[in-house]
Amino acid sequence: MASTDSPSPIPAEPQRVDAPLTRAAVFLVLTVDGGDAAAATVRDTLGGLDDLVKTVAFRDMHASLTCTAAIGHEVFERVTGHSAPADLHPFVPVHGEVHTAPATPGDLLFHIRADFTDLCFEFEKLLLAALGSAVTVVDETFGFRYFDARDLLGFVDGTANPVGPDLPTATLVGDEDPGFAGGSYVVVQRYTHDLDAWQGLTVEQQEAVIGRRKFDNVELPDADGLAQKSHKTLSTITDAAGEHDIVRDNMPFGRPGQGEFGTYFIGYSRHLWVIERMLERMFVGDPPGKHDRILDFSTPRTGTTFFAPSATFLAGLAD
């Protein structure tokens, strides 16, 4: 006899939050212009995003082209027709005694990744053509892989990313918000570096700031008690439930002719509060007053929060 039970729901297919490290990336932040027509254009473009990726990726199937799209709180309902995810809210500035993490505009984020810059360029060109006058570009940053995944400060970046089964647990919303299961909260910040000041430190001083050895990336012991903590320690979030990981896919960027050198931070997390707590520890300090010393050499220029719905959710917008 055939079962009379209702079929189990098909789980949402996430976007490529876990895409492999690539050699090039574009971080594109846009605002959505007012009006129903602009919202409809954005909705149609998001609904057809997977087809656009396939169109460009077909030119080089080995180049690992992906695009993760994310939406800000202010336009989420207007663009998607759905109430915003439970924890989504605009980026909250973090004010420390010395440094501040500012909030800057942004309604849409497109995180474009590939092993070759030309594919990122071609995809961005077609994407912006599809969006047309519905959007305004507020930040466009081209990132590149620097040697063995190092930032421009000379240290390997992203070592603490979760892998294997820990990755979806750390990055993807689950049963706590079932309407948005398979999605991920995203925070982006564009930092510029004072390389002259940084290079004025000894290697040992730099390692104390970062919390790792520069040559081989081995972790250094954590500071005890009220001592100054390293960037590695301050950006590690633990509580009674254990350690809470995020996925970072940071990229260096720069224009030597303009004296611009930086790191574009992008963090994906199942829980937005994890990244917010990380920033609070960095800018306010732990204990308060002992901020992350990397901020003495790295200045945040932007700060925006988004939610990257599942690929299933985005495809549904086309309907």
Encode pLDDT of 102-152 as tens digits.
Answer: 999 999 999 999 999 999 999 999 999 999 999 999 999 999 999 999 999
Clarify whether 139 is annotated catalytic.
no
pLDDT exceeds 50 at position 43: yes
Catalytic residue among 18, 107, 139, 157: 157
pLDDT exceeds 70 at position 178: yes
pLDDT exceeds 80 at position 153: yes
Question: Mean pLDDT score of the chain, rounded to an integer?
Answer: 94
Q: pLDDT tens digit string along 282-313?
A: 999 999 999 999 999 999 999 999 999 999 99
Token pair belonging to 44: 């149609």
pLDDT exceeds 50 at position 4: no
Using alpha carbons, select from 131, 75, 38, 102 the residue that is nearest to residue 306: 75
Neighbours of 138 (CB within 10 A): 16
Residue 3 is predicted with a pLDDT of 34
Average pLDDT score over residue span 22-44: 96
Where are the domains positioned within the chain? 24-317
- The percent of residues in the chain predicted with pLDDT above 90, rounded, is 88
Q: Which amino acid is residue 213, in one-letter code?
A: R
Token pair belonging to 39: 């919202």
